[in-house]
Structure 1
């Protein structure tokens, strides 16, 4: 029999052999940093600066607007190099995030064009979306706070859409998602898909002034809005909405109102169309005028979904990250409406109404080429 020293020696020899075999069979690690220097889409973006239309199509904004956004978010997304590896630059983080929002591609697919690993993208993109929302919301997604703010919105609605005292068009949009594990039918909606609801309010210029997201798709639009801070403050009279004023002389003063479709409850400060079975001439005129104002929010959702094609996919992220992605897109929508409206929203994306016939031609918001 072998003594203790001999047993230890044999065990050591076996261990060395196993380590040699493991070293030979171990899969080599992918070095994304080395590949990124030559293969990343950053090089493509550099080339696209000479092709403004292609640059705009690729990142959904022109170079000047992109650089402005990059300056805004850099303090929140900049990471520092370590002795072990180089950090992913803010330029790489923002461009990858914008491409993700513009196309709705998966992390697994996106890693090949960005040369950033799937695990890094899964952390980086939600963080960058959060940074985009945080830096833009104060200026570009600001909710009106004063009576003067509300009156400016109402004046725009009256001048552009011939609906006096309108403070905003309200609607909900179902954003399709992949149902989270164990959620059952919690997110299952009447359209037979899984979704969360984006509740939005738009001003007369197709900009969101309020967004609430995250309610499961089983809840109706009327139920969703009842649980928003907007509706709670509206009911409690905390929004500084102007007092009723006379629009036409010798007529009673009219309330300032929000407008929505049949899904919402009627209030003195929230109007919806008359039931079609109750139509007479005056009610038809009212419904027509209300429809013109309400169509603004539908157009806004249409533009948002066409420019950020992630809304044409089933978003497969954690629910909290889905909310962050949606809010970032809404903030970007307003940011681009103000900074590059001619390229982001050319005139043909809006519905066109023939005032002589009342017929509406839908805007070109369903093209599939801008990917």
Structure 2
């Protein structure tokens, strides 16, 4: 047999095996976890909807001690920067609320706590936290720019 015939036969034998292998790889890709299940429970169990909502209503002094800001100042700041930091929900996932973003950023500034602890407390991925903190800080700076020298 000549070399071309051997190559053609080899290709004919390999194609079904490659198709099968690619099909298995694609099936594995589809079953990959997009978000960790415990992070998906943010709306019910994250700090924004549990401890901070309680503190806002029942113990504003403790709220101020934690975020170094009164409830009124927090709400004013939130109103003024929400348009800069709030994203739209998509088919794939809900956007992180502006209130939560602001709380995470303030908590980070006040305490210097690690992203890992912020992730557990607020139920937001570390990757998202690393993006939202600079975004929120820039929005705060933009809002307060006229007050700063």
Give the conservation status (yes or no) of the 8 Å contact 1:59–1:99.
yes
Structure 2 spans left out of the alignment, 5+ residues: 1-5
Per-residue deviation, 1:48: 0.8
Partners of 1:91 and 1:47 lie apart in 2 by 14
Q: Which residue number corresponds to residue 28 of structure 1?
A: 33
Q: Which residue number corresponds to residue 51 of structure 2?
A: 44
TM-score, reference length from structure 2: 0.78
Give the conservation status (yes or no) of the 8 Å contact 2:105–2:136.
yes
TM-score, reference length from structure 1: 0.34
Query: Are 2:111 and 1:106 equivalent residues in the alignment?
Result: no
Per-residue deviation, 1:28: 3.4
Q: Which residue number corresponds to residue 19 of structure 1?
A: 25
Partners of 2:41 and 2:32 lie apart in 1 by 17
In structure 2, the CA distance between the partners of 1:5 and 1:72, relative to structure 1 (3 Å rule), is same
Partners of 1:125 and 1:7 lie apart in 2 by 50
Bigger radius of gyration: 1
Aligned residue for 1:57, secondary structure, equals helix
Structure 1 spans left out of the alignment, 5+ residues: 142-209, 211-371
More strand by share: 1
How well do the aligned residues superpose, as a CA RMSD in angstroms?
A: 2.7
Q: Which residue number corresponds to residue 68 of structure 2?
A: 60
Aligned residue pair count:
138
Partners of 2:23 and 2:141 lie apart in 1 by 55
Per-residue deviation, 1:112: 0.8
In structure 2, the CA distance between the partners of 1:36 and 1:78, relative to structure 1 (3 Å rule), is same
In structure 2, the CA distance between the partners of 1:5 and 1:47, relative to structure 1 (3 Å rule), is same
Q: Which of 77, 80, 100 does residue 72 from structure 1 map onto?
A: 80
Per-residue deviation, 1:120: 0.9
Q: Which residue number corresponds to residue 116 of structure 1?
A: 124
What does 1:35-184 align with in structure 2 at a 5 Å threshold? 35-42=41-48, 43-49=50-56, 50-138=58-146, 140-141=147-148
In structure 2, the CA distance between the partners of 1:90 and 1:5, relative to structure 1 (3 Å rule), is same
With a CA cutoff of 8 Å and minimum separation of 6, indicate the structure with the bigger relative contact order.
Answer: 2
Partners of 2:92 and 2:80 lie apart in 1 by 28
Give the conservation status (yes or no) of the 8 Å contact 2:39–2:125.
no
More helix by share: 2
What does 1:219-234 align with in structure 2 at a 5 Å threshold? none
Per-residue deviation, 1:17: 7.8
